[in-house]
Chain A
Amino acid sequence: DGGITQSPKYLFRKEGQNVTLSCEQNLNHDAMYWYRQDPGQGLRLIYYSQIVNDFQKGDIAEGYSVSREKKESFPLTVTSAQKNPTAFYLCASSIMGNGANVLTFGAGSRLTVL
């Protein structure tokens, strides 16, 4: 079945450490996105990519980095520069050029900084 796989589902990190969240899709979607969700809040866009080897900052990119070396993969690194990284992270993908541009989401990764 086609879908988006995020790993790990739960992750604990010590302060000062970088951590990378994996996102893989087999939907042949062009665009991929990373969102952050804090408790009781909506989703905020971190980074997005519409094509391989290209990506753009979203609304809260500071302290995060991404890469898009393959169409299927869009890993997110939470760096030590991110002051409050504890959150729920959601990866999504979509077909570009589709008017409705429905995003398909992964199951999410929950990061806790100890």
Chain B
Amino acid sequence: AQKITQTQPGMFVQEKEAVTLDCTYDTSDQSYGLFWYKQPSSGEMIFLIYQGSYDEQNATEGRYSLNFQKARKSANLVISASQLGDSAMYFCASIYNQGGKLIFGQGTELSVKP
């Protein structure tokens, strides 16, 4: 079965610094996708970035980049130049079986200090 592991329950980062949020996944599928979502205190899930298993380049979206290491089965999120508005829960998720079902990790709570 698919499993997503986020080992950092909480992280602190100074404003304007970069931070890496860890995510490892466990799958025997050859084709899969990896996502990161942000959940502010309001509760809504906001899509940040996607990486397909066959994508050779690491995905980037503005200040977000995904450090994809296939052999290690890791898909870490890097946020550059942290902003106070980045304070939120961050979830790593994977998709499998083309059914559109996402499996989520436990999340990492990021706090950005001024």
> Number of A residues whose C-beta is below 8 Å from B?
29
In B36-63, which residues have CB < 8 Å from any A CB?
37, 42-47, 50, 52
Q: How far is the CB of B66 from chain A (nearest CB, A)?
A: 13
Give the top 10 A-B pairs by smallest Cβ distance, nearest first: A42-B104, A105-B45, A108-B43, A43-B104, A100-B50, A107-B44, A42-B106, A31-B100, A101-B100, A102-B47
Task: Check: A41 CB closer than 8 A to any chain B CB.
Answer: yes
Q: Can you name the residue of chain B whose Cβ is closest to the Cβ of A100? A: B50
* B68 CB-CB contact with A under 8 Å: no
Cβ-defined partner of B47 (8 Å) among A58, A90, A103: A103
Main secondary structure of the interface of B (DSSP, over half): strand
Rounded to whole angstroms, the CA-CA distance of A46 and B42 in the bound complex is 21
Contact with B along A82-104 (1 / 0, CB 8 A): 00000010101010100111111
A52, CB-defined interface residue at 8 Å: no
Which of B4, B33, B37, B42 is the one whose CB lies under 8 Å from A99?
Answer: B33
Q: Are A103 and B102 in touch, CB under 8 angstroms?
A: yes
List the interface of chain A (C-beta within 8 A of B). Answer: 31, 33, 35, 40-45, 48, 50, 56, 58, 88, 90, 92, 94, 96, 99-108, 110
